[in-house]
A and B are shown apart, each in its own frame.
Chain A
Amino acid sequence: MRQKLVEFRNVSFRYDDDGPWILNDCSFTIYENQSVAIIGHNGSGKSTIAKLMNGLLFPQKGQILIDGKEVNAQTIWDIRKDVGMVFQNPDNQFVGTTVQDDVAFGMENRGIAREEMMKRIEDTLTAVGMQHKRLSEPHRLSGGQKQRVAIASVLAISPKLLILDEATAMLDPKGRQSIMKTVSHLHEQDVMSLVSITHDLEEVMMAEWVIVMNQGEIWAEGTPRDIFTRKDAFHKIGLDIPFVGKLTEALRRADVSITEEPLNHEELLEALWTFHSKT
């Protein structure tokens, strides 16, 4: 049984005392070394969840536990060591004037010795494939490169959880690919949980567990296969389904029976092969 890392217990949140609830009675658990995708359209409350996880916001109701510690004003500095975050806009989180300065920023804040910093900069930049740009300035980097640096800066403090808050939303396909490759590579190697808040269906398919948000509530939870079986309901809350799902649906409508929900091209082709052998 895997250890619990993040636990939301009946969490509700709103910005103003008389404003609308952004999150409404949300409970879920994320385990150690698990990769979770949180999806939902803009305004569904998914980014709020990310900010609650490392104490950038505090809930009005309910409890949030990270590695058994409750998130509150006293624990946030410890919790932020365990929870690293990469935000959407590559430019607005790049603090340093060069790549290595930016990676160092989080370590400097925690008083890590210079020699150790040098070592970790080397290691983490290598891990995200940015060591050749160690001395580059941010405005000479592409969006994808900046996001990889942001990931390296989080890795440098070796967190237990990495949150990607729509970290690929502003990137071009090449940048998005590079981030996804980097992240899945990291996830395989490290003992680290991963929460990715995203619209990108490809990212969702890569996750072990999916949480679907709608109007501040948890609308569904499950493996990607479970989730994408509920296509009609998905349309209703304004979310897109992947191409494979759409084609499967169209095939079923054309009386081509596909029993198990395929997740990728290969699975769908396999299912078609089975169907074709039966006819």
Chain B
Amino acid sequence: MDISFKNVSYTYQPNSPFAHQALDDVSFSIPSGTYVAVIGHTGSGKSTLIQHLNGLLRPTTGTVTIGDFVMSRTDKPKDMKALRSRVGVVFQYPEHQLFEETIAKDIAFGPKNFGVSDDVIKQRIDDILPTVGIHHDMLERSPFELSGGQMRRVAIAGVLAIKPEVLVLDEPTAGLDPRGQRDVMDMFYSLHKKEKMTTVLVTHNMEDAVKYADHIIILNQGKKYLEGKPETIFSDEDTLQQVQLDVPEVIQFLWKYEQKFGHSIPYNRQSITDIAQAIKEHIKEVGNDE
């Protein structure tokens, strides 16, 4: 499903002493099947934006279009459930939404609400378990007996079981250890590739954004600050530093390399091995010249 935001603004508690504008005239579009990263600090409007993607919030002004669903101040999709069954959201610390007696029941909770039959749900659980790395034997155990990382994966399975076309990820690795972070991010990436799922990753982790996304949108204080391909978005150091966002370490290093050696190695998401090779070739070349 294509996603488009047209001049979207959102104000919390309007006309009160606590009124707060979280989104300010934001426009962008995400074609179906892309992997987009939305980056910004806490308070940049990221979480408000997420909630517009499955109708938890509707814009104060402007229009949000998700596939055939149109939302504005006046328009509300007749079938909100249909929208939510097609846009899955993995919220921050998703393990906090677990509540059922068994892991199986908790994973089945979402699809059941959307009217999926028990047989189909069972099939889906069988498909998902290996992806999220939860063992079949554990299905009848309570989700509260699991370790933090396992709870996270059960919660994610609960969203995947809805079989959404769009998957929204809000800081999916927060609080995990480095190994857990890598596993979870790689899992989402392979799902995106395999199922052609439109993926919206909301994060403040630049490294992840650069590594996985086709397109990056940077939010700052409710406004769209920058947008573009990961390779190009980091071309302007000053622009990024103005909003105090971390430039991925590899790019920082290449900048410093250029300063020191007067030679630029352009970054196009190559692996560390390739970068090492490029550095070696350059150094050898300079050595031969002298």
Most buried by A among B175, B261, B276: B276
Residues A256 and B279 in contact, CB atoms below 8 Å apart: yes
Given contact pairs A256-B283, A275-B283, A279-B284, A42 touches B246 in the complex (Cβ within 8 A): no
Does B179 interact with chain A (Cβ within 8 Å)? yes
Residues A273 and B279 in contact, CB atoms below 8 Å apart: no
> Which residues of chain A are within 8 angstroms of B245 by Cβ–Cβ distance?
173
Residues B175 and A169 in contact, CB atoms below 8 Å apart: yes
- Partner of A142 from the list B42, B174, B176, B284 (CB cut-off 8 Å) is B42
Q: Give min CB distance, A112 to chain B, whole Å.
A: 34
Does A255 interact with chain B (Cβ within 8 Å)? yes
B residues 207-252 near A (Cβ < 8 Å) are 244-246, 249-250, 252
Q: Give min CB distance, A98 to chain B, whole Å.
A: 18
Does A272 interact with chain B (Cβ within 8 Å)? yes
Residues B249 and A256 in contact, CB atoms below 8 Å apart: no
Question: How does the 8 Å CB contact mask read for B270-290 relative to A, with 1 for contact and 0 for none?
Answer: 001101110110011011000
Residues B279 and A142 in contact, CB atoms below 8 Å apart: no
Does B33 interact with chain A (Cβ within 8 Å)? no
Does B148 interact with chain A (Cβ within 8 Å)? yes
Q: Give min CB distance, A197 to chain B, whole Å.
A: 12
- Partner of B272 from the list A169, A238, A250, A276 (CB cut-off 8 Å) is A250
Residues A243 and B250 in contact, CB atoms below 8 Å apart: yes
Question: How does the 8 Å CB contact mask read for B164-182 relative to A, with 1 for contact and 0 for none?
Answer: 0000000000111111101
Does A132 interact with chain B (Cβ within 8 Å)? no
Residues B272 and A279 in contact, CB atoms below 8 Å apart: no
Does A143 interact with chain B (Cβ within 8 Å)? yes
Given contact pairs A239-B178, A240-B178, A269-B260, A247 touches B253 in the complex (Cβ within 8 A): yes
Residues B149 and A42 in contact, CB atoms below 8 Å apart: yes
Does B147 interact with chain A (Cβ within 8 Å)? yes
Interface band, chain B: 35 or more
How many angstroms between the C-alpha atoms of A275 and B147 in the bound complex? 47
B residues 132-186 near A (Cβ < 8 Å) are 147-149, 174-180, 182
Residues A41 and B178 in contact, CB atoms below 8 Å apart: yes
Question: How does the 8 Å CB contact mask read for A236-279 relative to B, with 1 for contact and 0 for none?
Answer: 00111001101100110111100000000110110011011001
> Which residues of chain A are within 8 angstroms of B276 by Cβ–Cβ distance?
247, 250-251, 253-254, 256
How many angstroms between the C-alpha atoms of A143 and B253 in the bound complex? 29
Q: Please, how many residues of chain A have a CB less than 8 angstroms from a CB on the other chain?
A: 34
Does A216 interact with chain B (Cβ within 8 Å)? no
How many angstroms between the C-alpha atoms of A172 and B257 in the bound complex? 28
How many angstroms between the C-alpha atoms of A172 and B202 in the bound complex? 12
Q: Which applies to chain A's interface (DSSP): helix, strand, loop or mixed?
A: helix
Question: How does the 8 Å CB contact mask read for A101-132 relative to B, with 1 for contact and 0 for none?
Answer: 00000000000000000000000000000000
Does A191 interact with chain B (Cβ within 8 Å)? no
> Which residues of chain B are within 8 angstroms of A250 by Cβ–Cβ distance?
272-273, 275-276
Residues A199 and B178 in contact, CB atoms below 8 Å apart: yes
Q: Which applies to chain B's interface (DSSP): helix, strand, loop or mixed?
A: helix
Does A43 interact with chain B (Cβ within 8 Å)? yes
> Which residues of chain B are within 8 angstroms of A266 by Cβ–Cβ distance?
256
Residues A253 and B149 in contact, CB atoms below 8 Å apart: no
Residues B148 and A254 in contact, CB atoms below 8 Å apart: no
- Partner of A175 from the list B42, B148, B261, B272 (CB cut-off 8 Å) is B42
Does A174 interact with chain B (Cβ within 8 Å)? yes
> Which residues of chain B are within 8 angstroms of A255 by Cβ–Cβ distance?
280
Does A170 interact with chain B (Cβ within 8 Å)? yes
Question: How does the 8 Å CB contact mask read for B21-41 relative to A, with 1 for contact and 0 for none?
Answer: 000000000000000000001
Residues A170 and B256 in contact, CB atoms below 8 Å apart: no
How many angstroms between the C-alpha atoms of A82 and B284 in the bound complex? 56
How many angstroms between the C-alpha atoms of A255 and B174 in the bound complex? 37
Residues A276 and B287 in contact, CB atoms below 8 Å apart: yes
- Partner of A251 from the list B180, B244, B246, B279 (CB cut-off 8 Å) is B279
Q: Which residue of A lies closest to B204 (CB)?
A: A172
> Which residues of chain B are within 8 angstroms of A253 by Cβ–Cβ distance?
273, 276
> Which residues of chain A are within 8 angstroms of B77 by Cβ–Cβ distance?
none
> Which residues of chain B are within 8 angstroms of A175 by Cβ–Cβ distance?
42
Q: Give min CB distance, B159 to chain A, whole Å.
A: 21
Residues A173 and B204 in contact, CB atoms below 8 Å apart: yes
> Which residues of chain B are within 8 angstroms of A279 by Cβ–Cβ distance?
283-284, 287
Question: How does the 8 Å CB contact mask read for A159-199 relative to B, with 1 for contact and 0 for none?
Answer: 00000000001101111000000000000000000000001
What are 9 A-B contacts with C-beta separation under 8 Å?
A41-B179, A42-B176, A170-B175, A173-B205, A174-B41, A246-B272, A256-B283, A268-B253, A276-B286
The 5 closest A-B CB pairs, nearest first, are: A279-B287, A250-B276, A240-B178, A243-B249, A238-B179
Q: Give the A-binding residues of B (Cβ under 8 A).
A: 41-43, 147-149, 174-180, 182, 204-205, 244-246, 249-250, 252-253, 256-257, 260-261, 272-273, 275-277, 279-280, 283-284, 286-287
Q: Give the B-binding residues of A (Cβ under 8 A).
A: 41-43, 142-143, 169-170, 172-175, 199, 238-240, 243-244, 246-247, 250-251, 253-256, 265-266, 268-269, 272-273, 275-276, 279
